[in-house]
């Protein structure tokens, strides 16, 4: 349709065509039942076409259109309306949904142990050219742990975004990346051995990756929303390193900032605790654990178990190998292997490190 006068912006926007063989009742449904506004209607004496708009969503109600009925989701905060289904006279289906849809919550998951082998794994393609390997086995809504890689070096096809999470941390195990975060100043290099606490809602972007970047990422909950922010440019003008994001602070932890301590009751392993625990408000922690045993030394087994139940626990072997005993069986963990308790880690589920070589290095993440 060509206009002689200037048309409104809504008439110039992309829109969905809704067939309305019963035009008057269809118009009544959208305007009086759903709250759409009439942007344009034609002809005035016996209308058969209208452009309607609600919350930046535009439709063309067309009496002569040969289109299938549409399905519309309307996000709403009123819990009493969520799940309500409506059907219009032209077959249009409408459902009221939460502002952020989540997967169905499963509350009766039984704690399990999952061992992931580096030589027997599947990589799947994710966003921005990244490949993902699951370290938790089957998908669950409690948490997700992934090994993420970007081959080669170059710019990353990423954009400014943020996550609706309660805990999210990243540890660089290979290569490096140039990152930029809201209120954290100029872009910086995220290098091998570095760890980041990514608090809920912080805007960020991956700019470049180098030398076959590999990262371990742990996030809770697994089923979380990622939002784009097209209005923010990073770096932004504000620098506020101590800003609180939903009870947490961004932190970029580097190896030279960590202090060594004996790991549990081990006589052969040293732990280097990161600042992730403090930055996250004790939502979770990240440690690097190194062997300090000599090759000829006979090792005393070390028990690994929580004093009280945890929601999640992961060991990812960065280097070397170790023999463990878990669920009354012996397993050997080598570089790239992991052991994970994705549905909870109970005191009764403890495992033991029976032996490890002098090169053994493992990343520990829990909450």
- Do residues 276 and 218 both lie within one domain? no
Residue 77: which CATH number? 3.10.180.10
**Residue 252 falls inside a structural domain:** no
Q: How far is CA 67 from the centre of its chain?
A: 37
- Do residues 122 and 227 both lie within one domain? yes
User: Of 63, 97, 131, which residue sits at a domain end?
Assistant: 97
**Residue 157 falls inside a structural domain:** yes
* Separation CA 334–CA 350 (nearest Å): 20
pLDDT in tens, 195-242: 999 999 999 999 999 999 999 999 999 988 899 999 999 999 999 999
Domain count, the chain: 3
Residue 293 banded pLDDT, cuts 50, 70, 90: low
- Do residues 263 and 232 both lie within one domain? no
Among 171, 279, 164, 172, CA closest to 220: 164
**pLDDT value for 294:** 66
Comparing 319 with 140, the larger pLDDT belongs to: 319
**pTM (predicted TM-score):** 0.85
- Do residues 136 and 39 both lie within one domain? no
Among 319, 345, 357, 269, CA closest to 114: 345
What is the arithmetic mean of pLDDT over 264-288? 96
**pLDDT value for 127:** 76
**Residue 108 falls inside a structural domain:** no
- Tell whether the torsion through CA atoms of 234, 235, 239 and 240 is positive or negative: positive
- Do residues 85 and 140 both lie within one domain? no
**pLDDT value for 101:** 65
Comparing 127 with 101, the larger pLDDT belongs to: 127
Among 159, 256, 170, 245, CA closest to 204: 159
Taking each continuous run of H as one helix and of E as one strand, the counts in the chain are 2, 29
pLDDT in tens, 58-112: 999 999 999 899 999 999 888 888 889 999 988 999 999 988 766 555 567 789 9
**pLDDT value for 6:** 54
- Do residues 285 and 361 both lie within one domain? yes
- Do residues 80 and 53 both lie within one domain? yes
- Do residues 14 and 75 both lie within one domain? yes
* Separation CA 57–CA 363 (nearest Å): 47
- Do residues 123 and 233 both lie within one domain? yes
Among 318, 316, 319, 321, CA closest to 357: 321
**pLDDT value for 11:** 76
The domain containing residue 202 runs over which residues?
Answer: 118-241
**Residue 112 falls inside a structural domain:** no
User: Of 191, 217, 241, which residue sits at a domain end?
Assistant: 241
- Do residues 318 and 271 both lie within one domain? yes
- Do residues 124 and 234 both lie within one domain? yes
Whether 4 has a pLDDT exceeding 90, the answer reads: no
Q: How many CB atoms lie under 10 A from the CB of residue 262?
A: 12
**pLDDT value for 105:** 57
**pLDDT value for 140:** 72
Secondary structure (DSSP) of 294-343: -TTPPPPPEEE--SS-BS-EEEEEEESEEEEEETTEEEEEETT-EEEETT
User: Of 64, 97, 130, which residue sits at a domain end?
Assistant: 97
**Residue 127 falls inside a structural domain:** yes
Query: Which tokens hold the place of 365?
Result: 């993440």
Residue 228: which CATH number? 2.60.120.10
- Do residues 230 and 266 both lie within one domain? no
């Amino acid at each position: 349709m060509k206009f002689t006068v200037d048309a409104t912006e809504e008439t110039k926007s992309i829109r969905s065509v809704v067939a309305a063989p019963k035009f008057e009742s269809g118009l009544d449904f959208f305007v009086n039942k759903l709250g759409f506004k009439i942007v344009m209607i034609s002809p005035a004496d016996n209308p058969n076409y209208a452009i309607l708009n609600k919350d930046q969503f535009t439709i063309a109600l067309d009496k002569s259109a040969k289109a299938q009925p549409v399905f519309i989701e309307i996000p709403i905060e009123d819990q009493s309306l969520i799940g309500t289904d409506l059907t219009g006279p032209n077959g249009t289906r409408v459902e009221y949904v939460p502002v952020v849809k989540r997967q169905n919550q499963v509350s009766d998951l039984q704690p399990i142990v999952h061992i992931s082998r580096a030589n027997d794994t599947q990589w799947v393609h994710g966003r921005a050219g990244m490949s993902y390997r699951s370290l938790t086995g089957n998908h669950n809504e409690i948490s997700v742990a992934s090994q993420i890689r970007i081959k080669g070096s170059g710019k990353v096809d990423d954009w400014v975004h943020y996550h609706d999470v309660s805990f999210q941390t990243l540890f660089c195990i290979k290569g490096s990346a140039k990152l930029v975060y809201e209120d954290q100043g100029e872009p910086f290099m995220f290098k091998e051995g570095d760890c980041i606490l990514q608090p809920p809602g912080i805007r960020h972007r991956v700019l470049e990756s180098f030398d076959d970047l590999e990262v371990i990422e742990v996030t809770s909950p697994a089923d979380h929303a990622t939002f784009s922010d097209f209005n923010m440019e990073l770096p932004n003008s504000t620098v506020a390193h101590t800003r609180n994001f939903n009870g947490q602070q961004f932190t970029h932890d580097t190896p030279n900032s960590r202090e060594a301590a004996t790991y549990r009751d081990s006589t052969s392993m040293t732990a280097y605790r990161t600042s992730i625990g403090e930055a996250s408000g004790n939502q979770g922690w990240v440690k690097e654990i190194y062997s300090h045993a000599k090759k000829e030394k006979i090792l005393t087994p070390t028990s690994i178990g929580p004093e009280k139940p945890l929601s999640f626990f992961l060991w990812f072997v960065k280097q070397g190998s170790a023999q463990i005993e878990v669920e009354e069986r012996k397993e050997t963990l080598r570089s790239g292997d992991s052991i994970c308790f994705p549905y909870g880690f109970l005191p009764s589920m403890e495992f033991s490190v029976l032996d490890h070589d002098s090169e053994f290095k493992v990343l520990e993440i829990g909450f």
